[in-house]
Chains A and B, each alone.
Chain A
Amino acid sequence: MSYANNISHFEQAFKQKSKISPVDNTAWQQFKASGFENRRNEAFHYLDLNFYTFEAFNIVEHRPLVAQDIRFLPPLSHHFVFHNGYFQETIAPLAVAKPLDFSFQAVDAASNFFNPLTDTSSLITLNQSLHLGTASITIPGNTTIAHPIYIHYFTDTQTNKWMTFPKNYITVEENACAQLIECYWGQGPNSSLLNSMTHINIAKNATLEHIVYSESHPESIHLHNGTVFVAEHGVYNITRCGRNEGIERFDYAVHLQGEYSKTNAQFLDIAPHQQILDNHFCIYHNAAHTSSKTLSRSVVHRTAKRHFTGKIIVGNKAFHTRAALEDKNLLLSPHATANTRPQLEIFTDEVACKHGATVGYLDEEALFYMRARGIPENQARAMLIEAFVNPVFELLKNDFIKSQMKEPLSAAFEI
């Protein structure tokens, strides 16, 4: 039974931890009792983790990262690097300015964000149980951070199949503004299991531009979780993209708690081979005059599968909410799969909400039109794919991540 074996395997890893806080223990007991949700739970319908075995993944060893591993990182940025779950202090000089105009701490444990009553998802309890370190960033009030802040998680699988459980706590205080890029790099010949959790608090009038980028090996399993709270007039913008070859689940919930708070979300899922991408995004409009806009594109080829659940929940106090969600999927092969579930739940009056989704193939009429103008078929297909993803790609406000995405957008499809 993979279920019992998985629990036993994770328990062994839990007992190996050098420091176990009471909250970690509570989380572990919760996970041990419930295990992973099965496919009867709507949120796990398309990706039931009970069908996978995790015994091959080991808890990580501490090995310093060598400098050339990170030489491709962009200049004029703040970089904080974790290697196999451990913070790499030697990388700190990469930061552009010292002293920092914000605070960064890599701490062994930080439990203040975990709430056993509400954080009941198996992936959150497992992360809390097994995380080794935490990246904690606070942007002080009335401060605009001029350069992007990167948190890099490298999983180096040269010697083994590792599992890591990164945790990030981000606080943006009143009237502050910053850009945060979370990068998850899978390096080496072996696969990895990654289960990350990011908590974000955005205070009154504060703004956070957030990008989550990940790369992974074909047999890797990456599970990203996030919870975001936005106070009045706060702005949270998120873009998620990556080059994942294996299985990836992305599950974020944004709570618009204060009046006039807003969020814009962009998702770009590129699945050229046999990936399984399971994307969940839920926005809770809990206050009046809140707004959200979600724009999502996926390109799915060969036998890849992509699932999207986008939910907008407008609470009973959230009058004058404006919300829009659009998910479009392009299939390049008859064997590719896209499931899309745009959902609206509205519990008040006087709101303007819309949602829509499409799944389809390349437009053969457009293809013929372009070929009839002398554009070779492969180039015409590439232009149409680029045109399809451009509405999201153009909103990606980071040239480094844009450059990382160009290769999978062109060569990876081999069309």
Chain B
Amino acid sequence: MHNTILDIKNLSVSIDNKHIINNLDLEIKAGAIHAIMGPNGAGKSTLAHFLTGRPEYIREAGSVSYLGADLLALTPEERAWQGIYLSFQYPVAIQGVSNIQFLKTSLNAIRKKRNLPPLDAVDILQQVKNNMRNLQMDEALLYRSINEGFSGGEKKRNEILQMSLLEPTLAILDETDSGLDIDALKAVADGVNALRAPTRALLIITHYQRLLDYIEPDYIHVLHNGRIIHSGDKSLGPTLEQKGYGWLTEATQEILPS
């Protein structure tokens, strides 16, 4: 078993020739929960999508090692097969593809690559329904097109439902708490906590401490201008909630070359 799941070294990423991530370093060990916070435009979502393999995001420098191998050599689907999962901030709606059909295709594609036999429709349905109950989801959503007409909360629960089925090694949650009411937030957090395991790691991207009240992180990092400017333990969250980011970003401006 790899002790280090993700190792980002000196990473710089651009989109359309615009540098978003600058010299970022981050190591995530098995069993750990890392949270990334930071002001709007800091590069949090870019990092999440880059790690998932979004084609238009370009690596300018640095490396990303996942379970000891080069992550950046893999396509998005290969990364999913290897256990990387992104819970999207804005899950896309796909008209005409039912949720259950999508779950079945996705689950069996990943099982195939992990040399596991495909699950038949009955087994999948049973497993999905169990997980839906835990997430307090309406089973009718299974037969609707993916995310089409779903409320904000339903979309986010659906993301966690997929995560619970695919059982990733590294789960990246991109602002999963946005748009959720208190009950939904708790249901989603319970779903995430159920997946905690010594062999897994979580990278949670959020603006607010309230999600971290339910999913307790081991580390909190502050991202600003595409780099981590401060790291701390879980006590950093309430401090940021109280003081904002100004005290960190202003200090960084002073030490950063102009």
Interface residues of chain A, those whose CB is within 8 Å of chain B, are 363, 365-366, 368-377, 379, 383-384, 386-388, 390-391
Q: Cβ of A377 and Cβ of B77 under 8 Å apart? A: yes
Beyond the given A372-B53, A374-B81, A379-B109, please list 13 additional residue pairs across the A-B interface where CB-CB is below 8 A.
Answer: A368-B54, A368-B55, A368-B76, A371-B75, A372-B86, A373-B80, A373-B166, A374-B109, A374-B166, A375-B105, A375-B106, A383-B105, A384-B94
Instruction: Determine the chain A residues whose CB is within 8 A of the CB of B113 once the complex forms.
Output: 374
Scoring B residues 166 to 192 as 1 if CB is less than 8 Å from chain A, else 0, what string do you get? 100000000000000000000000000
Give the distance in Å from the alpha carbon of A391 to the alpha carbon of B94 in the complex: 13
Given contact pairs A374-B166, A375-B77, A375-B109, A369 touches B94 in the complex (Cβ within 8 A): yes
Q: In the complex, what residues of A have CB within 8 A of residue B53's CB?
A: 371-372
- Which residues of B pack against A, CB within 8 Å? 52-55, 75-77, 79-81, 85-86, 88, 91-92, 94-97, 102, 105-106, 109-110, 113, 145, 162, 166
* Contact between chains at A376 and B97 (CB < 8 Å): no
With the chains together, A201 CA to B52 CA distance in Å?
59
Given contacts A368-B76, A387-B96, A388-B96, contact A373 B106 (CB under 8 A): yes
CB-CB under 8 A from A379, the residues of chain B are 105, 109
Partner of B88, one of A369, A375, A377: A369
> Cβ of A371: which chain B residues have Cβ within 8 Å of it?
53, 75-77, 80
Central interface residue in B52, B76, B88, B145, by most chain A CB within 10 Å: B76
Q: CA A391 – CA B95 in complex, angstroms? A: 10
Most chain A beta carbons < 10 A, residue from B53, B92, B96: B96
Report whether A374 and B80 are in contact in the complex, using a CB–CB cutoff of 8 Å: yes
Which residue, of B80, B94, B106, has the highest number of chain A Cβ atoms within 10 A? B94
Q: How far is the CB of A148 from chain B (nearest CB, A)?
A: 27
Determine how close the nearest CB of chain A comes to the CB of B239; give it in whole angstroms.
33
Q: Assess whether B109 is in contact with A376, with CB atoms less than 8 Å apart.
A: yes
Q: For the complex, what is the distance from the CA of A374 to the CA of B77, rounded to whole Å?
A: 4
Q: Which residues of A contact B102 (CB under 8 A)?
A: 370, 373, 383
Q: How far is the CA of A387 from the CA of B94 in the complex (A)?
A: 8
Contact indicator B96/A391 (Cβ below 8 Å): yes
Chain B residues, Cβ within 8 Å of A377: 75, 77
Q: Across the interface, name the chain A residue whose C-beta is closest to B94.
A: A366
Query: Quick check: B80 and A383 within 8 Å, CB to CB?
Result: no
Q: 15 A-B Cβ contacts within 8 A?
A: A368-B54, A369-B92, A370-B94, A371-B53, A372-B86, A372-B88, A373-B80, A373-B109, A374-B80, A374-B110, A374-B113, A376-B109, A377-B77, A387-B94, A387-B96
Choice from A366, A383, A386 contacting B92 with Cβ under 8 Å = A366
| A373 and B54 contacting across the interface, CB-CB below 8 Å | no
Residues in A neighbouring B95, C-beta threshold 8 A: 387
9 nearest A-B residue pairs (beta carbon): A387-B96, A374-B80, A371-B76, A373-B106, A374-B110, A374-B109, A371-B77, A369-B92, A387-B97
Contact B106 A374 (CB under 8 A): yes
- Chain B residues with Cβ below 8 Å from A373 are 80, 102, 106, 109, 162, 166
By the criterion CB–CB under 8 Å, are A386 and B96 in contact?
yes
CB-CB < 8 A to B94: which residues of A? 363, 366, 369-370, 384, 387
Q: Nearest CB to that of A373 among chain B residues? A: B106
Q: How many whole Å from A409's CB to the nearest CB in chain B?
A: 13
| Shortest Cβ gap from A384 to chain B (Å) | 7
Q: If A383-B97, A384-B97, A387-B97 touch, does A372 touch B105 (CB 8 Å cutoff)? A: no
Q: Which residues of B contact A383 (CB under 8 A)?
A: 97, 102, 105
CA distance A366 to B94 in the complex (A): 6
B92/A363 in contact, CB under 8 A: yes
Interface centre among B81, B86, B105, B113 (most CB of A within 10 A): B105
Task: List chain A residues, Cβ under 8 A from B85.
Answer: 372
The closest CB in chain A to the CB of B80 belongs to A374
Q: What is the distance, in angstroms, from B222's C-beta to the closest C-beta of chain A?
A: 26
Min distance, Cβ B197 to any Cβ of chain A, angstroms: 20
Alpha-carbon separation in the docked complex, A379 to B91 (Å) = 20
Report the nearest A residue to B97, measured CB to CB. A387
Residues of A within 8 A of B110 (CB): 374
